[in-house]
Amino acid sequence: MSAGPLSEAEVKLLNEVVRLCKQDPALLHHPGLGPFRSYVESLGGSIPAARGPAASPGSPRPSAPAAAASEESEESDIELDNSGVIEPDDEKPQPMGDADKEVSEEDIEKSNEKKREAISAFAEGDYQKAIQMYTEAILLNPQSALLYAKRGQCYLQLGKPNACIRDCSRALDINPDSAAAHKFRGRAQRLLGRWEEAARDLRDACKIDFDEQADEWLREVTPNARKLEEHRRKYERKHAERELREKLERARRAKEEHARAASQSQDQPSGGATGDTGDFYKKMMNDPEIMQAFMDPEVSAAFQDVLTNPGNLAKYQSNPKIKAVINKLMSKFGGSMPAGGFPGMGGGFPGMPGGFPGAFPPPPPTGGAGAAPREDDVGLD
């Protein structure tokens, strides 16, 4: 095959190979597809474990999931201080306002008036009224991040962390540098036992605008957050080590497969036939008639049937279309099958070296004196 872009016929053949492998993944373990297996694994893909006699030597993969599960189970026991964690709330969301609203000076003035009423209600401990006033202020001025953060603070006082997180996240969408939104959302995360998220929010709050209460809350969540962060780093380290081991194992198997293929190629007899897989497929893909024939669903299904069980070949001896394809392939190799059979068929058809005795006799030689017409090419034009 040339190094340039794939031709349309080559793309069709590749798609056909993929389709067959999807139907029967065991085909991936045929010796002729060794280079394809190695390529898939070099990209990080995995080959299904071989089943029964269809597997080629050395093809079964090591069982890594059991070791991975063992590593993760050892890491799962983390002692956390979950005191103060509460059940999540299911508060119905309050209106968020129209983000595309054109806010007038009058709207801002009325919104500020509602905000003052909310602040007064909050100071008196009437958090429900404060929420109502902040909601009216938000509807008048939905682009104020502080209004959402302060309404979130009210939810925090009522022990409704999910509602608080919802409002503070909206505030941070408007203004990512809102220290108040980070602070209150961090506290809400802490109440839900989300220690790492709480630590991140509270660190950001102190970084943007240091606040003693936010700093106190941060020191409270830090021990649990550090344990979880260390657990995560440990897991990621083990995961990376496991991936490296698997990559080295894939490289080792690819090297063995390459050496095995080279050894098999050296053992092939010399002469008109050749056992070289690359040469076989090159000849196939450079012949438009063969490529076109394999696009025929009947031909493709027949070859899949024979690949599954070589004994099924006898079923197609009276089919001129299938017989013509076989004879066309054989003509590529001087009137006989390639040594060892078609690449990827596990050494060819047992008991039928050098062709298909009785079922598909080798076609007569083309050209020269006495060459007879080839009726079996009918259907490939």
What does the pLDDT look like over 283-317, one tens digit per residue?
A: 666 677 777 777 788 887 887 777 777 777 778 87
Task: Check if the beta carbon of residue 195 is closer than 8 Å to that of residue 165.
Answer: no
149-205 pLDDT, tens digit each = 999 999 999 999 999 999 999 999 999 999 999 999 999 999 999 999 999 999 999
* Domains along the chain with CATH numbers: 8-26+275-366+373-377 (no CATH), 105-229 (1.25.40.10)
* Residues contacting residue 5 through CB under 8 Å, at least 6 positions apart: none
Percentage of the chain lying above the pLDDT 70 cut: 68
| Alpha helix positions (H), 43-126 | 65-75, 105-123
0.85 cut: is pTM over it? no
Task: Check if the beta carbon of residue 316 is closer than 8 Å to that of residue 250.
Answer: no
If one compares 381 and 286, the residue with the highest pLDDT of the two is 286
pLDDT-wise least confident of 19-28, 91-100, 318-327:
19-28
Task: Check if the beta carbon of residue 202 is closer than 8 Å to that of residue 217.
Answer: yes
324-379 pLDDT, tens digit each = 877 777 776 555 544 444 544 443 443 333 334 333 444 444 444 444 444 444 44
Task: Check if the beta carbon of residue 168 is closer than 8 Å to that of residue 152.
Answer: yes
Report the alpha-carbon distance of residue 182 to residue 198 in Å, rounded: 9
